[in-house]
Amino acid sequence: MRILITGGAGFIGSNIADAFVARGDEVLIVDDLSSGRESNVPKAARLVKADVRSPEARAALESFRPDVLCHLAAQLDVRKSVDDPMFDADVNVVGSLKLLEACKKVGTRRVLFASTGGAIYGEQDVFPADETHPTRPMSPYGVAKLAVEHYLSYYTVVHGFRTTALRFANVYGPRQSPHGEAGVVAIFARKLLNREVPVINGDGSQTRDFVFVGDVVRANVLAIEKDLSGSFNVGTGVETSVLELYDSLRRAAGSDIAPKHAPGKLGEQMRSVLDARLLERHTGFRPQTKLDDGIRATVDYFRSTDV
């Protein structure tokens, strides 16, 4: 297949690109490198440096005429979305629409979209949450991802697209950026290895579903191979507090540094954990990486790189 991956130089996108290249697919990556790294791009893939909202991105898609659009490029910082919801919507909603319109023009009807399970449900009524849970996002980031899912439904019904929205839990692993506010595992790992003191916002009792990037990659490949359609959670079903996560990271790093605490952040939910059994029923997907094993692999990556 010809697969265009937006955000394919980034953390999750580059790992997915590796998997599609390994399958023998022809891969084109569109990434503005605002958070991605050119060194992450597989040698067998081609890179076009462009913002997904730009005429250059549209031209690249129209020239490549992909069989599949795998759309991961995004403004991905929940806190930044709270501070600047207009920018978040411009990148995450308008940018997605520009790509979908280009797909419509050239006949690309297969779209794989990186949505969010961590932010789309809001404060959960049940734990873990499955795909029938009410969607009550508490941040503009979650609102934007949900809006794109609705647009995907529109393009499916009206224009005959076949679309899959994979609602990722909190993804971590090698190549995650330790810079900025997003990516707590990478941020803590880098600080611990540098003998710096990590900061936990709030008391650390807030929980997340931490899923290893290798499992997320497998979910994306299965979605294509099984011709999946609809919205599906991608998570472990295991709820882990930030304090528990910190202890796992500290052990992997061989550190005795205690964290500092800062006030909680506006728009941050307290508990989040996903039920991914619907994806399992349709594809056989099950997460294979236990948290401590994934944390060790992530810390080992940061030991071997200066990122």
Give the Cα separation of 248 and 133 in Å (integer).
30
For residue 223, report the phi and psi dihedrals to the nearest 5 degrees: -60, -35
Residue 157's H or E segment, with its range, is: helix 140-159
What is the spatial distance between Cα 67 and Cα 161, in angstroms, rounded to a whole number? 11
Phi-psi region at 151: left, alpha or beta (left = phi > 0; alpha = psi -120 to 50): alpha
Residue 203 and residue 254 in contact, taking contact as beta carbons nearer than 8 Å = no
What tokens were used for 20?
A: 């599609």
- The beta-strand segments (E) located in the chain are 2-6, 26-31, 46-49, 68-71, 110-116, 162-168, 170-172, 199-201, 207-208, 210-212, 230-234, 240-241, 260-262
Please tell me whether residue 30 adopts helix, strand or coil conformation: strand
Closest to 183 in 3D by CA, of 15, 32, 30, 35: 35
Cβ(30)–Cβ(10) below 8 Å: no
| Strand-strand pairing, 2-6 and 68-71 | parallel
Measure the CA–CA gap between 121 and 209, rounded to whole angstroms.
Answer: 13
Catalytic residues: 141
Cβ neighbours, 10 Å, residue 23? 13
Verify cis geometry, omega within 30 degrees of 0, for the bond prior to 128: yes
